[in-house]
Amino acid sequence: MLKDTLLYMARQERIRRFVSHNGFARRAARRFVAGETLDEAMAVATSLNRQHISVSLDHLGENVTDAAEARAAAQDYITILDRITDAGADANISVKLTALGLDLSADLCRENLTRLMRRAAELAIFVRVDMEGSAYTQATIDMVLALRRDFDNIGTVVQSMLYRTPADVARLIECRTRVRLVKGAYLEPVSVAYPKKADVDAHYIECMHALLECGVYPAIATHDERIIAEARRFAAHKEIAAARFEFQMLYGIRRDLQERLARDGYNVRVYVPYGTQWYPYLTRRLAERPANLMFIAGNVFRG
């Protein structure tokens, strides 16, 4: 119930405006967001790299309603790609199609994505297209597979909560496209998604096995220790080398586990979001673990 309420709040513009301007909430958001500027995000990336942890940078923003804003978002990502190269950082980028104008027009979005893919290809940097709510799943997969014909440095994300995902996994494997597997962070109706966590977890493991065996450098993105243990067991059993996949986690969550996996010789990548548009991202993190709400509330009240 609380989870659904938080996910509903993530989409409310009036609440976003109110919370985004609250100084205490802004400071509390820093637990999950690397900062508001690229300099701050690069400092976090450098420090993670020092611990042999790779990074994916996300310039926060989604559902833009203006074509100029969507073009500016693509240009911002090009700046990030250049900064990654200049700094010699072990980092790639994660982008959301609605930040590049998907709500306005698929053509505009494709134009923006193609522009940044060209620069990423020149610099040999991988681009991950994040997965948003189920209304965008088909469009996202179609767009990624269309660009995959010209670029081998593009990949996307699938969510084990959706009924359709095993079929998407099969298609992405067939097209030799890199996949990040997640459980899913959006509020979805029972017509498209498993309502029970046990089913979401069971389907995660099913898709993970397929990706580990047949996928192209899959990303096992979860903080779920039981699933991580199963990935390690399965890879060892099938003699899949640790270099053939990576674990991914979110900035600010289970730092201990990130470091432990890196020490054990696994590839680990941390998703590092930054920017001023942190409100929907933060509410999704609160919905995943409502205890986080107490942490934020504690900060606000202490303030």
Binding-site member from 53, 84, 89, 250 for ligand FAD (CB under 6 A):
250
The reply on whether position 199 binds ligand FAD by CB under 6 A is no
The reply on whether position 104 binds ligand FAD by CB under 6 A is no
Residue 130 appears among annotated catalytic residues: yes
181 SS3 class? strand
DSSP state of 246: E
80 SS3 class? helix
Binding-site member from 63, 137, 140, 159 for ligand FAD (CB under 6 A):
159
List % helix, strand, coil for the chain (3-state, nearest 5).
Answer: 55, 15, 30
Number of neighbours of residue 213 by Cβ within 10 angstroms: 13
Our CB check for ligand FAD shows the closer of 67 and 257 to be: 257
- Piece in contact with ligand FAD (CB under 6 A), picked from 17-25, 41-49, 105-113, 184-192: 184-192
- Piece in contact with ligand FAD (CB under 6 A), picked from 5-13, 99-107, 219-227, 231-239: 219-227
Selecting among 130, 148, 168, 178, the annotated active-site residue is 130
Between helices 255-263 and 225-237, what is the axis angle to 10°? 20
Selecting among 110, 180, 269, 284, the annotated active-site residue is 180
Is there a contact between 212 and 240 (Cβ–Cβ < 8 Å)? Answer: yes
- The distance of closest approach from Cβ of residue 158 to ligand FAD in the complex, given in angstroms and rounded to an integer, is 9
Is there a contact between 35 and 41 (Cβ–Cβ < 8 Å)? Answer: yes
Our CB check for ligand FAD shows the closer of 101 and 184 to be: 184
* Nearest CA among 235, 231, 234 for reference residue 221: 231
Query: One-letter amino acid identity for 74?
Result: A
Phi, psi of 271 (to 5 degrees): -85, 115
The reply on whether position 177 binds ligand FAD by CB under 6 A is no
- Piece in contact with ligand FAD (CB under 6 A), picked from 4-12, 85-93, 179-187, 234-242: 179-187
Find all residues with CB under 8 Å of 143, minimum gap 6, and list them: 97, 102, 106, 109, 110, 113, 129
Give catalytic residue positions. 130, 180
Q: Which residues bind ligand FAD (CB under 6 A)?
A: 130-131, 157, 159, 182-186, 221-224, 248-250, 253-254, 271, 285, 288-289, 292
